[in-house]
Chains A and B, each alone.
Chain A
Amino acid sequence: MSEQPASARYPAQGGRRARLDRDVTLIELLDRLLQGGVVIQGDITLAAADIDLVDVSLRLVVGAVDSVGRDLRGPVRAAVEAG
């Protein structure tokens, strides 16, 4: 990839965790592009199955740091209020 996206840049943190940085960046990208953003109402998006496929396959690549993260989240604030 010749053009490095701004989002892949980090503050200087040393090379110690370059691998972790890369994995976390990919998870952050998936979380944002596939679960954030403005949503078009209706079903006129890329085939949902195709998107799930790229989501799951890329998460498998970074499985070491995101074992089951996708389905078990809840808002912290709500959790704090409830707890």
Chain B
Amino acid sequence: MIYVYAVTEGVPSPAARDGVGLAAQELRVVAASGLAAVVSDHPGGLTSPSETELWAHERAVERLMADGAVLPMRFGSLLPDEDAVRALLNTRRAELTTGLARVAGAIELGVRAVWRSDGGEPEQAPEDRTSGSGYLQALVGQRRRARALAERIDTPLARLARDSRHRLLLTANLPLSGAYLVDRERLDAFRTEVVALDEQISQAEIMCTGPWPPYSFAAASPEAA
């Protein structure tokens, strides 16, 4: 079996693909249609994954990012043989090329808000689920607050980003999650803005993770579809 980490335009430099992937297997390149897939060989298949394997996948893709545009594959992308990898590159060439152009020169940053535990969030979801209408009302209120927070955070950050994706989360303390596709040269400005928002917004902690490979932008945006 062949495990696929990412698709790149052209063959990545030896330095960028120097290293190992899952199960400490060497990385190699399968090229077709002007695209390259970075893969590793697993003749005996793969055992059940763990956090270690997730980070091995992530590191392999991160190294490639030093070299140019990269479209990361979803974790677990295993193909039977090299022909199947070439078929992937050939049959989906247009989609993959468009995707690479979409993310070229940019990195993905994650933004998360967490309600502060020190009383910033006025109403947590009620524990008493026996009162149905009260529970629903609290959920609606929780969602409304999450939406207001999302808009407040997104407006300044979207100005610094090429594209963005968001999710409102109906959890007690994690109201929202955002992914931003940011030009490399705007990385510092973006992080500075997140720190500023974190200081301005008293009821939630705003955190920035990354740079990540553009996992959230590997597929065309729902609006464009």
Q: CB within 8 Å of B: which residues of A?
A: 1, 3, 5-7, 10-11, 13, 17, 20-21, 24-40, 44-47, 50-51, 53-54, 58, 65-69, 72-77, 79-80, 83
Contact = CB atoms under 8 A, between A and B. Distances in A.
A30 B215 CA distance: 11
Contact of A68 (B80, B167, B170): B170
B171 A72 contact: yes
A63 to B, nearest CB: 10
B78 A77 contact: no
A38 B99 contact: yes
Contacts of A50: 48-49
Given A10-B208, A20-B207, A24-B209, A76 B58 contact: no
Contacts of A35: 74
Interface of B: 4, 7, 46, 48-55, 57-59, 62, 71-80, 84, 88, 96, 99, 108, 110, 112, 114, 143, 147, 150-151, 154, 165-174, 176-179, 191, 194-195, 198, 205, 207-213, 215-216, 218-219, 222-223
Contacts of A76: 147, 150, 154, 166-168, 176, 178
A8 to B, nearest CB: 8
A76 B195 CA distance: 22
B82 to A, nearest CB: 14
B209 A33 contact: no
B218 to A, nearest CB: 5
Given A7-B211, A20-B114, A33 B77 contact: no
Contact of A65 (B165, B173, B176): B173
B50 A54 contact: yes
B170 A28 contact: no
Nearest to B192: A11
